[in-house]
């Protein structure tokens, strides 16, 4: 079974109202997939991360909280182009770049007491499935995720 790794997410200013998002990943096929010349479909998702704050046991007079990710909401999902692997393919580096409105990244439309925008947390997911030449008994690799990127994009 192929393995997805090295997922990265970069967000760069494109205009006053938009950003350029680039998602990259590496697919490392198994030897059987290489010999079968497996063809993969790819899917790129940009996700927003929501957090849950829970009180933690703390000494008297201090305030501690624990923060846990509760869910990831999909901002956008885009399909890439199919690609094949062969015996001479030790790995395949893939990427997708697209422009998106800054307001779409504003998953926490909140402000602090000073009036500044609360930072938003986004991450990316790379996912592939077989388009052709799936080896017998093989299953598509598990999706892979980037690290969380924080910022204020409005």
pLDDT tens-place string over residues 96-150:
999 999 888 876 666 666 666 667 888 999 999 999 999 998 899 999 999 988 8
**Domain count within the chain:** 1
Print the domain residue range for 75: 3-108+118-135
Q: What is the CATH number of the domain that holds 123?
A: 2.60.40
Residue 18 lies in a domain: yes
* Contact present, 15 and 25 (Cβ < 8 Å): no
pLDDT, position 21: 95
Is residue 94 pLDDT above 70, yes or no? yes
Residue 58 has pLDDT above 90, yes or no: no
In a domain, 86, yes or no: yes
Q: Is residue 83 part of a domain?
A: yes
Biggest distance spanned by C-alpha atoms of the chain: 64
Report how far residue 137's alpha carbon sits from residue 1's, in angstroms, rounded to the nearest whole number.
Answer: 9
Q: Is 142 inside any structural domain?
A: no
Whole-angstrom CA distances from 26 to 5, 57, 148 are: 5, 42, 18
| Secondary structure letter of residue 115 according to DSSP | S
Residue 41 counted as domain residue:
yes
Residue 22 pLDDT more than 80? Answer: yes
5-14, 31-40, 42-51, 128-137: which range is least confident on average? 42-51
The mean pLDDT value for 74-99 works out to: 94
Strands (E) across the chain are located at 3-13, 18-28, 39-55, 65-79, 83-84, 92-101, 120-132, 144-145, 149-151
Residue 44 placed within a domain:
yes
92 part of a folded domain: yes
Is 154 among the domain residues? Answer: no
Q: What sign results for the dihedral spanned by CA atoms 92, 98, 102, 104?
A: negative
- How far is Cα 17 from Cα 154, in angstroms, rounded to an integer? 8
Instruction: Look over the chain and give the mean of its residue pLDDT values, rounded to a whole number.
Output: 84
């Amino acid at each position: 079974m192929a393995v997805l790794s090295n997922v990265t997410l970069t967000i760069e200013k494109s205009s006053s109202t938009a950003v350029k998002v680039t998602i990259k990943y590496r697919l490392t096929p198994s030897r059987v997939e290489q010999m079968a010349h497996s063809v993969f479909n790819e899917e790129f998702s940009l996700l927003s991360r929501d957090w849950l704050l829970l009180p933690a046991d703390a000494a008297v007079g201090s305030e501690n909280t624990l923060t846990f990710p509760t869910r990831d909401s999909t901002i956008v999902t885009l399909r890439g182009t199919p690609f094949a692997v062969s015996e001479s393919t030790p790995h395949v580096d893939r990427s997708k770049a697209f422009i998106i409105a800054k307001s779409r990244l504003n998953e926490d439309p909140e402000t602090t007491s000073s009036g500044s925008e609360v930072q938003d947390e986004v991450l990316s997911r790379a996912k592939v499935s077989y388009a052709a030449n799936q080896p017998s008994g093989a299953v598509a690799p598990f999706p892979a995720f980037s690290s969380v990127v924080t910022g204020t994009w409005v």
